[in-house]
Homo-oligomer: A and B are copies of this chain.
């Protein structure tokens, strides 16, 4: 693997484990057994590393949210959209852990993130439109837009919600199971709009794929 990519992977690991604020470029260089000078040859500063990691995250999310045009959406597609979204969040969990801080200290990232949000909201809307077209959910355009925004808020706040409200010890990390429980919670946003034709099938699939954990409510 090239050094540049190794730096990005090391930074992602350290940021996820320790939080971005606690990790310096020197830590990253030491972790890789390379000199700080070698690191600076590839990245001017930590902000550049973060920006590059965000670009990779962004590309992954937009690929995950792609809506096929040559076939109809299925109930399993919906589950997969959510699984991919939460796994993506997990892989790059340092981002949403301290998003306000990251955005307030990096203007380029903030502008990029706000554009990303708009594009994501359109894509989430497309997914719900696809589900409406096949008759899985029934709702007005206005309801669909609100549903897309609520989905965005619950998905992107899920980590912070878990850490502030449910982790017993502040040093505990979120388990993958806790993360996936977010799928269950997001599903409840859409559930009231399921049509009679699809309700049973979709709820059964949801219970199989992301059952409600005992600790959730």
Could you list which residues of chain A lie within 8 angstroms of chain B, going by C-beta atoms? 97-100, 103-104, 107, 110, 113-114, 117, 121, 139, 142-143, 145-150, 153-154, 156-158, 160-161, 163-166, 170, 185, 188-189, 191-193, 212, 216-217
Out of B98, B165, B189, B193, name the residue touching A150 (CB < 8 Å): B189
Residue among B107, B153, B165 making CB contact with A154, cutoff 8 Å: B153
CA distance in complex: A158, B142 (Å):
19
Q: A185 with B146: in contact, given A113-B164, A154-B154, A193-B192 (CB under 8 Å)?
A: yes
Q: Classify the interface of chain A: helix, strand, loop or mixed.
A: helix
Q: Are A149 and B189 interface neighbours, CB within 8 A? A: no
Specify the chain B residue showing the minimal Cβ separation from A103: B164
**Separation of A192 and B103 alpha carbons in the complex (Å):** 34
Contacts of A185 in B (CB 8 A): 146, 149-150, 153
The 6 closest A-B pairs by CB, nearest first: A146-B188, A192-B192, A157-B157, A117-B165, A145-B217, A104-B170
B100 touches A160 (CB 8 A): yes
Complex CA gap A170/B113 in Å reads 12
A188 to B188, CA, bound (A): 13
Question: Measured between alpha carbons, how far is A150 from B117 in the docked complex, in Å?
Answer: 20
Report Cα–Cα, A193/B143, bound state, in Å: 12
Partner of A188 from the list B150, B157, B160 (CB cut-off 8 Å) is B150
**Would you give the shortest CB distance from A112 to chain B, in whole angstroms?**
12
Chain B residues whose C-beta falls within 8 Å of the C-beta of A193 in the assembled complex: 192
A113 cross-chain contacts in B, Cβ below 8 A: 164-165
Q: Min CB distance, A9 to chain B, in Å?
A: 25
Contacts of A216 in B (CB 8 A): 149
Q: Which residues of B are found within 8 Å of A212, using beta-carbon distances?
A: 142
Q: How far is the CA of A107 from the CA of B169 in the complex (A)?
A: 9
- What separation, in Å, do the CA atoms of A110 and B165 have in the docked complex? 8
Q: Whole-angstrom distance between the alpha carbons of A157 and B150 in the complex?
A: 11
Chain B residues whose C-beta falls within 8 Å of the C-beta of A147 in the assembled complex: 188
Decide: B165 and A114 in contact? CB cutoff 8 A: yes
